[in-house]
Amino acid sequence: MSSLKKDSKIGTRKRIAVIAGDGIGQEVIPQAVKVIKASGADVEFADFDWGADRYLRDGTTVPPDGFARLSRDFDAILVGAFGDPRVKTNIHAKEILLGMRFKMDLYANVRPVRLLDAALCPLKGVEPKDVDFIVIRENTEGVYTDAGGVFKQGTPDEIATQEDINTRKGVERIILYAFEFCRSHAKIDGSPRGKVLMCDKSNAMTHAGSLWQRVFKEVAAEYPQITPQHMYVDALCLQMVRDPRQFDVIVTNNMFGDIITDLAAGLQGGLGMAASGNIHPGKTSMFEPVHGSAPPIAGKNVANPFGAILTAAMMLGHLGFTKETSKIDAAVLEALRQKKTTEDIGGSLGTREAGDWVAEQVSATLSS
Ligand code: NAD
Ligand code: IPM
Ligand code: MN
């Protein structure tokens, strides 16, 4: 097995590990895979059965060599979602999803926020050109490390602590990533990006806030052509719904990044439209839609597959398949224009049928 990835890097073929996971992950990921196949990208897939069913069957969340295998044998990982009402502790989601982020050191959670069709935005008078920003979320630290503990549990004197871990290395590399991203990525309309906004809560969380503030100023000084900005996270939430036009690149910690990207998904038409990548440059990275397993709608063929399909396009772009990425993005745009979508965004198609439509559109563009 160890030679597989090496071989794939010599040729152009890329190997993709697919972990559909739980709930609607099982429905949207097959649509994304179908669309990738239709794009003609030179890739091959290997399915992994990690998720709630496997955990309930044999107690395995991640097999002993799981993460090592992913890093060694694959160029990228495509993930659905984890979360199942039968697993009350959510232990499998923690070990698989957060496990990949932490143990594979995928420190940059890149979440593009793009409005593809004005009709999808709940805000008045907002058009696609007005919503085109990126949230760069720190993905390996913060309160997500689960550091802390309990004392006198179950008694009236119970104490629970949840530590917010911020390291100089972690803060510096994510802020640097944001500035580099800003420098090297254009907006959808082709104009250059020029602003990086750091979002924190340094008026209340002064210790972590001080570290983020100092590092942000130091890194910003290295990028004189980029305008550094700052907002407290509460104010940012207000501004995001008042005037999303003002945002370009936002960098923030793990927890704030989680929260503001659900809010930002609302600007794009809901969680069914939001894509993300969990990236460590040069290492095997993981791509997943922002949404969860959505248990109430799972198994009904109603989940919107576009977030997963746009995530697949993002993954292909990361792997160097730029033409294929553009074709998939264009096919999703066309689906929106022709209302060939699921009901959550105004169409009347099922998950599979919306996926089929995009796949056919991608194939048609290839042969035309
Ligand atoms: P969720 O994202 O699953 O659902 C939130 C809302 O958005 C629901 O109303 C749902 O129906 C809707 N929705 C989500 N995706 C949709 C889609 N593709 N099409 C149409 N509607 C969609 O979040 P939740 O309800 O808070 O969590 C459910 C489970 O998923 C929990 O176990 C949670 O921990 C887990 N979760 C996992 C991930 C992940 O694996 N990356 C992300 C978020 C939540
Ligand atoms: C996300 C999810 C996860 C997170 C959960 C499932 C742990 O909400 O990817 O946005 O909080 O990071
Ligand atoms: Mn989330």
Q: How far is CA 32 from CA 19, 84, 312, in A?
A: 12, 22, 6
What mean pLDDT do residues 280-294 have?
A: 98
pLDDT at residue number 368: 58
The CATH number assigned to the domain with range 14-106+281-367 reads 3.40.718.10
The pair of three-digit structure tokens given for residue 162, joined into one six-digit string: 């949840």
303 lines ligand 1 (CB under 6 A): yes
Q: Convert the pLDDT of each residue in 83-101 to its tens digit.
A: 999 999 999 999 999 999 9
| Nearest-atom index, ligand 1, CA of 288 | 41
Q: How much is the mean pLDDT over the chain?
A: 96
pLDDT at residue number 12: 83
| Nearest-atom index, ligand 2, CA of 82 | 6
97 lines ligand 1 (CB under 6 A): yes
Buried b (16+ CB within 10 A) or exposed e, 82-93: bbbeebeeeebb
| Nearest-atom index, ligand 2, CA of 261 | 10
pLDDT at residue number 276: 98
> Catalytic residues, which ones?
144, 201, 234, 258, 262
3 state DSSP class of 68: helix
Q: Convert the pLDDT of each residue in 200-242 to its tens digit.
A: 999 999 999 999 999 999 999 999 999 999 999 999 999 999 9
Q: Is the pLDDT of residue 355 over 70?
A: yes
First and final C-alpha spacing in the chain = 39
pLDDT at residue number 367: 60
**Percent with pLDDT over 70 in the chain:** 96
Mutation to probe ligand 2, out of 79, 95, 97 (largest number of atoms < 8 A from CB): 97
Q: How confident is the model at residue 6 (pLDDT cuts 50, 70, 90)?
A: very low
Cα of 156 from ligand 3 centre, angstroms: 32
Q: Convert the pLDDT of each residue in 15-73 to its tens digit.
A: 999 999 999 999 999 999 999 999 999 999 999 999 999 999 999 999 999 999 999 99
92 lines ligand 1 (CB under 6 A): no
Q: Is the pLDDT of residue 5 over 90?
A: no
Cα of 13 from ligand 2 centre, angstroms: 31
pTM of the predicted protein model: 0.96
What is the architecture, at CATH level 2, of domain 108-149+165-279? 3-Layer(aba) Sandwich (3.40)
Mutation to probe ligand 2, out of 106, 137, 258 (largest number of atoms < 8 A from CB): 258
| Stretch(es) of the chain classified as CATH 3.40.718.10 | 14-106+281-367, 108-149+165-279
Q: How far is CA 30 from CA 19, 78, 248, 293, 325, in A?
A: 10, 11, 32, 14, 17
Length of the chain: 368
